[in-house]
Amino acid sequence: MDIISTKEILLDAKKNRYAVPAFNIHNLETMQAVLEGACEMKSPVIIAATPGTVDYAGMDYLVAMARVGAKKHNIPVALHLDHCSDINFLEECIGAGFKSVMIDASLKQYEDNIKVTRDVVEFAHKQGVTVEAELGTVGGQEDERNVDAAKALLTVPDMALDFVKKTNIDSLAIAIGTAHGLYKLKPKLDFERLANIRKIIDIPLVLHGASGVSPEDTRKAIELGICKVNIATELKIPFADSIKEYFLENPMANDPRKYLTPGKNAIKQVVMNKIEICGSKNKA
């Protein structure tokens, strides 16, 4: 099986009222851990990479690794470019083999967001690539994108409907109270807003900044229409903590195969837990 776009797996999630988790990876080890966890749970999975990760790991390397992983594990695997605001870079990723992209022009004025997003959709759809966009502004930091919580804007339902009609996007990331990175206080999700958006919009909805959102709130968001749940910080922290712990116990260690393995195992456990919460187990 080759890597695929997110279109069919998200439409199935929408139809059957579950969500597909999108896990932000950074290298071979983190991708392996995500794929192994998804395979064990028999779940479709979205491998997400920010532009910073693509620069770090290499565009061609990421595509090649994802293709090997999809073939090896024989589950639906989508490779998704996350939070990209550079159209030229986005087009390069599509050329390299990415089947799913997110154009993030959410920090621009509304009409500019529409224009940029529409242009990306026209290009991507010709290549058989699905497009996610964001309306409203999710706070916190994701890669080099940093939005102060006070400046975060929640998605307006009627504006979201207009945006979807004018851009022809495949999925929409909405702002309902989550944030990227670590939460200082328990996030308070606007479920009424989510329900109102779901009533008038027919495409899959995406929840960004889901790390730190309680299982109960995540499940409720999925019940109300979320079809894709993004996880990044909740992978990075246990990966780093497990490696730090290994070095505390083995201060003279120098073999990456030894000290990276605990990190991989920690990520795999998080992946399996998130798949259980999202309800995508046995949906591959």
- Residue numbers belonging to the annotated binding site for Zn(2+): 83, 104, 134, 180, 208
pLDDT at 178: 78
Separation of alpha carbons 144 and 17, rounded Å: 33
| CA angle at 262 for the pair 260 and 268, rounded to the nearest 5° | 105
- Residue numbers belonging to the annotated binding site: 83, 104, 134, 180-181, 208-211, 230-233
Q: What percent of the chain has pLDDT over 70?
A: 92
Residue 43 falls inside a structural domain: yes
pLDDT in tens, 121-174: 999 999 999 999 999 865 444 455 444 444 457 899 999 999 999 999 999 999
**Rounded to an integer, what is the distance from CA 144 to the centroid of its chain?**
16
Check residue 130 and give left, alpha or beta (phi > 0: left; psi -120 to 50: alpha). Answer: beta
* Boundaries of domain holding 99: 7-278
Asked if residue 68 lies in contact with residue 62, where contact means CB atoms within 8 angstroms, the answer is no
Catalytic: which of 55, 82, 148, 162? 82
Residue whose C-alpha is closest to residue 96's, from 76, 116, 81: 81
Burial 166-184 (b: 16+ CB within 10 A, else e): ebebbbbbbbbbbbbbebe
pLDDT at 107: 85
pLDDT in tens, 56-88: 999 999 999 999 999 999 999 999 999 999 999
Pairing state between β 45-49 and 20-24: parallel
Residue whose C-alpha is closest to residue 196's, from 214, 215, 217, 174: 174
| CA angle at 263 for the pair 257 and 269, rounded to the nearest 5° | 130
For residue 186, pLDDT beyond 70: no
Active site residue 82: yes
Complete DSSP assignment for 95-110: HHT--EEEE--TTS-H
Residue 1 falls inside a structural domain: no
Residue 33 falls inside a structural domain: yes
**CATH code at position 32:** 3.20.20.70
Separation of alpha carbons 118 and 134, rounded Å: 12
Report the number of distinct structural domains present in the chain: 1
Asked if residue 2 lies in contact with residue 67, where contact means CB atoms within 8 angstroms, the answer is yes
Residue 225 falls inside a structural domain: yes
Residue 116 falls inside a structural domain: yes
Residue 284 falls inside a structural domain: no
Residue 2 falls inside a structural domain: no
Residue 283 falls inside a structural domain: no
